[in-house]
């Protein structure tokens, strides 16, 4: 089939479904970012956000697979240019461009949230390391006779 023909499922339907899902995902990511920005992070809240994202990602992937299968069946290549031409032919070019813009915002916010999470993880690891060092310096130890000493020693973690 040439580009002049029609793709099995109208692009407008796929674009609308993807746009709706991306809007839902963007809202979850905004809530996740709010949770990550708080002084005290609620692990259960972050877990709930992660669980909310998963089915949305799966639905987006399913739509993408449908779109790719439809293009492949019509002997068309899966590329943004091909999709843009098809969207233009089917009268939904603006919707396609808006969906692509929304997808870019989702990608950016997801990456930012990932950076926030990595920053928190690094901070937590540094704090744990400091606590370990501090406790190792002042940890009470026992002599061979069983007497407790408060000697400053480094604990041998391989012992």
Indicate whether 131 belongs to any domain: yes
34 part of a folded domain: yes
CA–CA gap between residue 73 and residue 8 (Å, rounded): 9
In the chain, the number of structural domains is 1
Instruction: Answer yes or no: is 145 within a domain.
Output: no
Look at residues 19, 30, 33 and name the one whose alpha carbon lies nearest to residue 102. Answer: 19
Domain-embedded: residue 70: yes
Domain-embedded: residue 147: no
**80-89 vs 11-37: helix crossing angle, rounded to 10:** 120
Residue 103, C-beta contacts closer than 8 angstroms, at least 6 positions apart: 18, 22
46 within some domain: yes
pTM: 0.74
Q: How far apart are CA 88 and CA 75, in angstroms?
A: 18
Q: In terms of residue numbers, what domain contains 109?
A: 11-138
21 inside domain: yes
We report the CATH number of the domain holding residue 18 as: 1.20.58.300
pLDDT per residue, tens digit, the chain (159 aa), is 334 444 445 778 889 999 999 999 999 999 999 988 887 778 888 899 999 999 999 999 999 999 888 888 889 998 999 999 999 998 999 999 999 999 999 999 999 999 988 888 888 888 888 887 777 666 666 677 777 665 544 445 554
48 part of a folded domain? yes
Query: How far is residue 141 CA from its own chain's centroid?
Result: 45
């Amino acid at each position: 089939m040439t580009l002049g023909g029609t793709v099995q499922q109208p692009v407008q339907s796929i674009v609308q479904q993807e746009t709706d899902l991306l809007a839902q995902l963007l809202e979850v990511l905004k809530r996740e970012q709010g949770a990550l920005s708080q002084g005290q992070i609620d692990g259960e809240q972050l877990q709930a956000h992660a669980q909310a994202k998963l089915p949305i990602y799966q639905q987006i992937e399913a739509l993408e697979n449908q779109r790719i299968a439809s293009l492949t069946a019509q002997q068309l290549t899966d590329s943004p240019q091909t999709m843009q031409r098809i969207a233009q032919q089917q009268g939904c070019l603006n919707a396609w461009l808006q969906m692509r813009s929304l997808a870019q915002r989702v990608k950016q916010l997801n990456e930012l949230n990932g950076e926030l999470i990595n920053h928190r993880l690094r901070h937590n690891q540094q704090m744990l390391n400091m606590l370990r060092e501090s406790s190792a310096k002042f940890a009470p130890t026992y002599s061979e006779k069983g007497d407790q000493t408060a000697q400053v020693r480094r604990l041998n973690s391989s012992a």
